[in-house]
Structure 1
Amino acid sequence: MPVEVKTTVPSVNDVLVPETLLKKRKSDAKAREEKAAKALELKKAQKQKRRVIFKRAEQYTKEYKAAEREEIRLRRVAKSQGEFYVPAQPKVVFVVRLRGISNIAPKPKKILQLLRLLQINNGVFIKLTKATAQMLTLVEPYVTYGEPNLKSIRELVYKRGYAKINKQRVPITDNSVVEAHLGKFGIISIEDIVHEIATCGPNLKAVLQFLWPFKLSNPTGGFHKRKFTHFIEGGDTGDREQAINKLIRQMN
């Protein structure tokens, strides 16, 4: 009678796995866990940051509305008493260069370089002090300037805003660019930049150094025929006060 021989096929679990492969699997699993944990932590941090930015934006809106109501109240009080309300002098002005390099004296030319107005239709925000006011007086035939309102500041920063990083013109694509370079000043979003300029905040100098000069287009409808005469004489140069906001709309 023939003897039946049973053969056993080794299962997958019985196959010996090299120790190096086991170590690699273990390290890969650990790396995946760490990566997932970091991603979760980053997601939580970003969510918290968005909450902070949103709360700040709400607070800024309240501040702007309160300041606007206070100015309306002061106007009404002055009117009721038969007096004139004189608003405070602007703390920040927006300056636009109108003329090229031809026929410019050395001193105004140097001032334009200091103001970073190197090309026609370049625009910059400037903190108005006694020194900068004197500089603007010397270059009035070559520039126009005035007090920008909140809407103009926001439109310029959001639409034309570029950062100066390592002497390069870098687009401000999101708030991380702002936080990376201005976070040490407590400025973590584009809205913080707008607020700092609108209120002439304590870190305004750092913000203005961070922003690249704005490159504007020719205004819709063009400049006046008497472009290089003063604004009050029907031209475009010099101080145009609140009327700068209309020009910004036309050039933005």
Structure 2
Amino acid sequence: MSTAEKKLDSNPEILLKKRKNADRLRIEKQQQAKHRAEERQKQQNAKKSNNKFVRAETIVARKLASDRENERIKRVTKFDKMNYKLDDNDDKERLLFVVRIANPHMGNIPTRARKVLSILRLNKINQGTFVRLNKKVEPLLHLINPYVVVGTPSLSTVRNLIQKRATVKVDITEESDKTITPKEGEDNEESKPLEGHDFKIIALNDNNLIEEKLGDYGVICTEDIIFEIFKLGDAFLECNKFLEPFTLKEPVTGWGPLSKLERLEKKEESKLHQVSSKRNAPLNEVDIDKFIESQI
């Protein structure tokens, strides 16, 4: 009888234990992730349901503002359906940086506009993302024109945003399922799992992470991401998805006299800058370099 036939075709007991523990830990991590998601949803609902007294005039004003905004969305959608023509020869793409601003009216944001904001990942005020402007994206920007400001950033602005404000989402569920190898002299029957959440947001300061996620597209460092974003390269979509929305600072902070003066000047400027509700009106474009200069 050969040695291969004598060898038992079975796993050792310690491997069976590890597999059993791995299955149990995976189920526990899934249940913990579900519980954390439910807790986060409860906290968000608790923040929204504030029991403040609201005057009847305020309710009526909000209702009228919401109706006007719904009518604007209908006009914009109707105009796009009647006048939408896609000509590949005239489709000139350019880079835009879109920043979410405060709502200009008291009404609720319509569902269609809120969905566009969600697609662009602009769920909070003072968040911004890069967008490739073309004839397919322009109608979407007109839907959310009152809620955002857009502009063409320069190379220095793109570099400053990515180097100073770029963050990425790292999934640590798999890392939390990993086990710590015991040292010599410790009990190795059961290993301790690493504790962690579902994901975490970290600053983009590691080229190894970039090469791991975007190496298949020829992007291996921060400078490659800057080049792909600014030049609208072939890997623009992948790089833009890899980056989380940029969270900018408030333009005016503090309670001193100079801060109060700047806040008043900013309020007066906002009164002069009126956004047209017409579909054929231009986008709410500003000097984006100057706009985010003090917010990086």
2:168 touches 2:242 (CA, 8 Å); kept in 1? yes
Q: How does 1:88-107 map to 2 (within 5 A)?
A: 91-99=94-102, 103-107=108-112
Cα distance in 2 for residues equivalent to 1:199 and 1:140: 25
1:185 touches 1:203 (CA, 8 Å); kept in 2? yes
The Cα of 1:227 is off from its aligned counterpart by: 3.4
Q: Which one of 123, 130, 149 corresponds to residue 128 of structure 2?
A: 123
Output one character per residue of 1:205-234: Cα deviation in whole Å (capped at 9) or x when no partner.
00000000000011144543463774689x
RMSD of aligned C-alpha atoms? 2.6
Q: How does 1:96-175 map to 2 (within 5 A)?
A: 96-99=99-102, 103-166=108-171, 168-175=200-207
Structure 2 residue 249 is the aligned partner of structure 1 residue 246: no
Cα distance in 1 for residues equivalent to 2:107 and 2:269: 18
Give SS of 2:237's match.
helix
Identical aligned pairs, as a percentage? 33
Unmatched tracts of structure 1, length 5 or more: 1-87
1:141 touches 1:230 (CA, 8 Å); kept in 2? no
Output one character per residue of 1:102-139: Cα deviation in whole Å (capped at 9) or x when no partner.
62111111111111000000000011121211111111
Structure 2 residue 247 is the aligned partner of structure 1 residue 215: yes
Q: 1 or 2, which has the higher helix percentage?
A: 1
Cα distance in 2 for residues equivalent to 1:198 and 1:107: 29
1:165 touches 1:210 (CA, 8 Å); kept in 2? no
Change in CA separation of 1:141 and 1:226 when aligned onto 2, cut-off 3 Å: farther
Give SS of 1:170's match.
strand
Unmatched tracts of structure 2, length 5 or more: 1-90, 172-198, 253-261, 277-281
2:93 touches 2:134 (CA, 8 Å); kept in 1? no
Structure 2 residue 230 is the aligned partner of structure 1 residue 227: no
2:162 touches 2:226 (CA, 8 Å); kept in 1? yes
- State which structure, 1 or 2, has the greater radius of gyration over its C-alpha atoms: 1
> TM-score, normalized by length of structure 1?
0.58
Q: Which one of 234, 237, 258 corresponds to residue 202 of structure 1?
A: 234
> TM-score, normalized by length of structure 2?
0.50
Give SS of 2:244's match.
coil
Cα distance in 1 for residues equivalent to 2:214 and 2:95: 20
